[in-house]
Structure 1
Amino acid sequence: MIYTFSDCVLNLDRRTLLREGVAQHIEPQVFDLLVLLVQAEGRTVTKDEIIAQIWDGRAISDDAITSRIKSARKAIGDDGRSQRFIRTLPKIGYRFDGHVDAPSGDPQQPAPNPGDETSAPEIGYVTDRKGRSIGYAVHGDGPLLIVPPFWVTASDLWHDYPDIQEFFLTLGKGLRILRYDRPGSGLSRDAYPNETLEDEVALLEDMVAAFRADSFSLLAISAAGPVAIRYAVAHPKKVDRICFYGAYGSGEDLAPPESQAMLLALIRQHWGVGSRALADIFVPSADAEDRRRFAAQQRAAADSEQAAAMLELSWQIDAKLDTPKVDVPTLVLHRQEDRAVPVDHGQWLARSIPGARLQLFPGDAHAPWFGPIDVALQANSFLLG
């Protein structure tokens, strides 16, 4: 079934959107939201209806809906101020005001340009050994680089966050990057969360098997550090190189138990306040708008209970005893004033992994895409060898 409006063609069978004859890159959830609004032409679609249809009734934040609406507007060339097509009705919902022609046949569809490096990544799902549906995103060409999840992530949020897009495009020059979301987060939101380091390593093994990867490199950010260490020791012939950023060997050393308990309680009871508290830790020198945006990214990726469970796991995982057994070329990158994972954790990794090289950067941002793009440039140079 095909709907046309203005200069847009929305093809439900192919799940594609053309604007002025050019294929638009649109994430699956955003596509479903646009279809819902177009099919309800002239009728107000409440937030409750959107949550029921797009998120299967799960508890999600207003920021998550707003983010998807913004992406839908961008895809169809709508102006958020004039709201020519998608109109916001404050505290009520949204209404599609464009004139939609009656459904018709399937016009010829031009293929997207594979050379366009700003193209959205390929989105897909893998069923792991526990029967869970794990969402992933792949982009780029070249040797494979796997980026295991490091916190709550949403790999389908690509065009919504230009800083994340720029980081991964810079990192991925000459590489094929595979990112996947932790169970309970982002594209894997419907899957129950992992509980142990062994669960995290098993998930990485399942992704490697699904992609039939004979060899690849790893970028281990933050809590992905112990996962990469344990995997590399278990499968040394598969890992070409490891680049750590803001990573650690043992999560229990990051914060005293009483601080952990207080933050977990805050996240579970007041996720809005908790996400802002984490933003103050992860990107303390960012301006107020960037901290607000970072907090919104976290809330869009996971609900309060999922986020708390994943943070608790990040503090529990420990691969310290495995670090001397890592036998692959290793680079450790760390920002000197990182508050979430202090620099001494990166220094310890570099000392403990045989032959590892350490490079420190100025700044206090734990999120690698905040600040200068130097982290992505250095990681890319090392990973390409």
Structure 2
Amino acid sequence: MNADKKEKPPPDPELQRRIQELIRYKGGGYNEAIVADIIENALKLLTDVADRGDVRVIQIANRELRYAFRLFAPYAHVRKVAVFGSARTAPHKPEYKQAVEFGRKIAAAGYMVITGAGPGIMQAAHEGAGSEMSFGANIRLPWEQNPNPVIREDAKLVTFKYFFTRKLIFIRHADAVVLFPGGFGTLDEGYEALTLMQTGKSQLMPLVLIDRPGGTYWKTWDRHVRDHLLRDELISPEDLNLYQITDNVDEAVRIITRFYRNFHSTRFVKDLFVIRLKHPPSDTALAALNEDFADIITGPPIQRIPPTPEEQEDRDHLELHRIAFGFNRRDYGRLRQMIDVLNSL
């Protein structure tokens, strides 16, 4: 049974009092009710989980995530691009030079770069962006993964023990994902980003696959996706909208910046899907959107709305315009097409 759906036992008043006393002792702070729940669940480990190794996973994951969120918080207002690619790519390779160029041009467009902080493509992207516009999310490995010299002494470097906490930070803080040719890790990050967007577990964002000039690494991958996943109906045709392939760095930068030309972000408020925009669509554009995307609308049609009470409570981008509708929560590839239309208005 889902843990959230289990009937909760009645609260222990004495335990609640002591937790609140502990929070007051620490001086209080953000999200006290949520922190109180975390403390209460941590205490349940005393009786629920006997294996020391399992408890260590929880302990270290909590510590890593807390530190990483604190590290990224001052830069929340700056959009960021997560860049992945092989740690083994040498500086003389065309892909390395492309990654340097991409880092330089995306930083000039106002975006920060997040990489795994290692050598190869990761170092190249940092070299292009410069340390001021770079984050490093390093992973402790028994070989090859020491922080590159660009980010090694920078305060915007965090080192993880676990891949799953590192992946969460990448996707949580990225506004776009760029993949250069790489090995298992690069493909893993690409599939993870695709899966999270396809299932609505992350914000939709540009996912750009960059081949070397005239290269076929991602074209071959795309052919496999079409010949096996799509042909065998393991994915939907619209899922192909979730990524784009190019061998041109300037085009990669354009894909990312155009995505945010009008679109800002999305949020579910109960059963209402809210899209935040810089400019509102006209009545004519709304009518066309309702007609062209009727297949993904369940419930209220696409309409302009003011900030919802929930957004007002969270002070969630209240300055932006909004449209909202009943989204079927399934066809995110089609939703990606709608965002393209909104950006063209």
Same topology, TM > 0.5: no
Q: Which has the higher helix share?
A: 2
TM-score in terms of structure 1 length: 0.25
TM-score in terms of structure 2 length: 0.28
